[in-house]
Amino acid sequence: MTIHVIGAGVTGLSFAKASKDEVTILESCERIGGKALSYKVETSVGTFGFDVGGHWFHYQSTPAVLDILQGLDLKAHTRKAFVYLHERFFKFPIQQSYIWHPDEKFVGNVKKELQLANSDHEYTNYEDMLQQSYGLTLYESFFKDYNSKMYGIHDLSEIGVGRFETIRNVRTNTNVTGYNGDFLYPQGDTGAGGIPLFLADHLQINYNKKVTSINIKNKTMIINNATVSWDTIVSTMPLNSLVGMVKDVDDHILALSKQLKFSKGMILNLGVKKTRLQGDMSWVYFPDPHLHFYRVGFYSNVESSLAPLGYCSMYVECSPLFFGNKEEALALVPTIIKELIEIGFIHHADEIVTTKAIYLDHNYCLPDTSKTKVIHHYLESAGIYSIGRYGSWHWSSQHEDMQQAWDLANKLALRDLSNSQKMRTKVILSL
Ligand SMILES: Cc1cc2nc3c(=O)[nH]c(=O)nc-3n(C[C@H](O)[C@H](O)[C@H](O)COP(=O)(O)OP(=O)(O)OC[C@H]3O[C@@H](n4cnc5c(N)ncnc54)[C@H](O)[C@@H]3O)c2cc1C
């Protein structure tokens, strides 16, 4: 049996690597990696390396995925992250560093509220989870605006909790490092793209093969105008796009998929002269509702070969609260650069060597398991498995996507084994 895998990002590649079946990988682009790709820019001062925003490998909740990456040169790093609050940098996580805030009333309130935080509470939505976990003072000063800017949604009670809390232990843990205190990153100048490159080794990828339509009843799909038969599909494209592509889909499923919420994104990559303020920071969170970005990070502070000596390769994650489409997003670039200069991450516009803005149609999928469970069940009963951050419709990271791919490959192998045993029993009985 051949399994058609849609997408050669980390999820599709991990599935193909783990699968015991024959696999055909279809990738609409001419390169692998999906969101986890990297690129280089040659300039007069040397070579800069960039990813699509920080792609740090946080493996703690799924250590088994490291087996898949055995042989890849991954270096461990300790997170040096900060929160820029009230014009000061506080070490992340803020629920520990708030004690350095100069306002005693603020410190007293946060302390009191953190002591009252209710760990047994059943959260009804994302806003509830943040308020119950951190108290109202930290919620109002950091979590509310930061999360709204990141997910592009003002009312956080519209977001489900999903599996966020159990996976990431974002609560008021006293553990200094928190859930992502250490992370891995490929050593050398490959950037995060070194991971998909490693996964793709020995796999045959069919590039420029875009799936444009799927038919469940006939079990056919259209790839670049050609009709192809399929038996099982593993899709990593966004779930709403996948459902929209199924020509004979149930109206109810289509209606559910149209209700799924997600954010668009824009990453602004910059190669700039190194400033003192950049120091050795990994990344910084920005809750200030007036700033047009929610996070800024520094690739070359983690892997120095990603920028020439005396320079830095950095990324800015821009908030979708300020744009509705690509044109509007790109128009924000000069304002964002001005804000970076005001903060001190860049001294002067003349010190910017290279910039690239990357617009993302899908950045964060806002989990809504009451709908996605129904959609996934429908698709799976037709032989279509939708996995990965965009396929499962969750805010997962690479390691969780890889684990999901690995688990599915094993599940399908068991299914095939049990089918072939049933066939054998049938043959024996009919003899
Ligand atoms: C800005 C940003 C920052 C992130 N930071 C981190 C981080 O620090 N750490 C971390 O672990 N994760 C991070 N992530 C998440 C990480 O990128 C994803 O978890 C992971 O890349 C998802 O991989 P995927 O293969 O499921 O999907 P994708 O990477 O989206 O790959 C899907 C592939 O399918 C292809 N495709 C789509 N439609 C079709 C079609 N119709 N036909 C054929 N091919 C198709 C696409 O071209 C693409 O190659 C970040 C993501 C973003 C956007």
Ligand 1 centroid to residue 344 C-alpha, Å: 31
Q: Which atom of ligand 1 is nearest to the CA of 317?
A: 1
Query: Which phi and psi angles does 425 have, rounded to 5°?
Result: -60, -40
- pLDDT-derived band at 395, boundaries 50, 70, 90: confident
Query: Which phi and psi angles does 228 have, rounded to 5°?
Result: -130, 140
- The answer to which of 64-73, 169-178, 238-247, 399-408 has the lowest mean pLDDT is 169-178
What is the rounded CA–CA span in Å between residue 281 and residue 301?
7
What is the rounded CA–CA span in Å between residue 264 and residue 411?
33
Question: Averaged over 250-270, what is the pLDDT?
Answer: 97
pLDDT at 171: 47
Ligand 1 centroid to residue 140 C-alpha, Å: 31
Q: 193 or 416, which is more confident?
A: 193
Kindly tell me if the per-residue pLDDT of 26 is higher than 90: yes
pLDDT at 173: 47
Ligand 1: residue whose CA is nearest its atom 51: 35
Ligand 1 centroid to residue 292 C-alpha, Å: 23
- Residues 6+ away with beta carbon under 8 Å from 190: 38, 49, 197
| Domains recognised in the chain with CATH numbers | 2-30+207-260+366-430 (3.50.50.60), 40-79+182-191+264-360 (3.90.660.20), 96-168 (no CATH)
pLDDT at 172: 45
Kindly tell me if the per-residue pLDDT of 374 is higher than 60: yes
Query: Contact, 153 vs 132, CB < 8 A?
Result: no
Ligand 1 centroid to residue 98 C-alpha, Å: 34
Q: For 347-356, write each residue's pLDDT tens digit.
A: 999 999 999 9
Question: Averaged over 333-361, what is the pLDDT?
Answer: 98
Kindly tell me if the per-residue pLDDT of 166 is higher than 50: no
Ligand 1: residue whose CA is nearest its atom 53: 363
Please choose from 6, 25, 35 the residue to mutate so as to test ligand 1's pocket, defined by most ligand atoms within 8 A of CB: 35
User: What percent of the chain lies above the pLDDT cut of 90?
Assistant: 83
**H-helix segments, 231-298:** 239-245, 251-258
Give the rounded distance of the alpha carbon of 377 from its chain centre.
23
pLDDT at 133: 86
Angle 61-66-70 from CA coordinates, rounded to 5°: 175
Tokens of 379: 């698709």
Considering only CA atoms, which of 86, 42, 28, 77 is closest in space to residue 57?
77
Question: Averaged over 262-285, what is the pLDDT?
Answer: 97
pLDDT at 426: 66
State the chain's mean pLDDT as an integer. 93
- pLDDT-derived band at 129, boundaries 50, 70, 90: confident
Q: Which atom of ligand 1 is nearest to the CA of 391?
A: 26
Question: Averaged over 395-417, what is the pLDDT?
Answer: 91
Query: Contact, 321 vs 145, CB < 8 A?
Result: no
The distance in angstroms from the start CA to the end CA of the chain is 25
- The answer to which of 171-175, 195-199, 210-214 has the lowest mean pLDDT is 171-175
Ligand 1 centroid to residue 33 C-alpha, Å: 7
Kindly tell me if the per-residue pLDDT of 280 is higher than 90: yes
Ligand 1: residue whose CA is nearest its atom 8: 55
Ligand 1 proximal residues by C-beta, below 6 Å: 6-12, 26-29, 34-36, 52-58, 210-211, 236-237, 265, 267, 317, 360, 363, 388-390, 396-399, 401
- The answer to which of 39-43, 255-259, 397-401, 425-429 has the lowest mean pLDDT is 425-429
Q: Which atom of ligand 1 is nearest to the CA of 32?
A: 49
Q: Which atom of ligand 1 is nearest to the CA of 209?
A: 43
Query: Contact, 339 vs 293, CB < 8 A?
Result: yes
Kindly tell me if the per-residue pLDDT of 430 is higher than 90: no
Q: Which atom of ligand 1 is nearest to the CA of 52?
A: 1
Ligand 1 centroid to residue 108 C-alpha, Å: 42
- pLDDT-derived band at 79, boundaries 50, 70, 90: very high
pLDDT at 60: 82
Ligand 1: residue whose CA is nearest its atom 26: 388
Q: Quick one: which H or E segment has residue 214?
A: strand 211-215
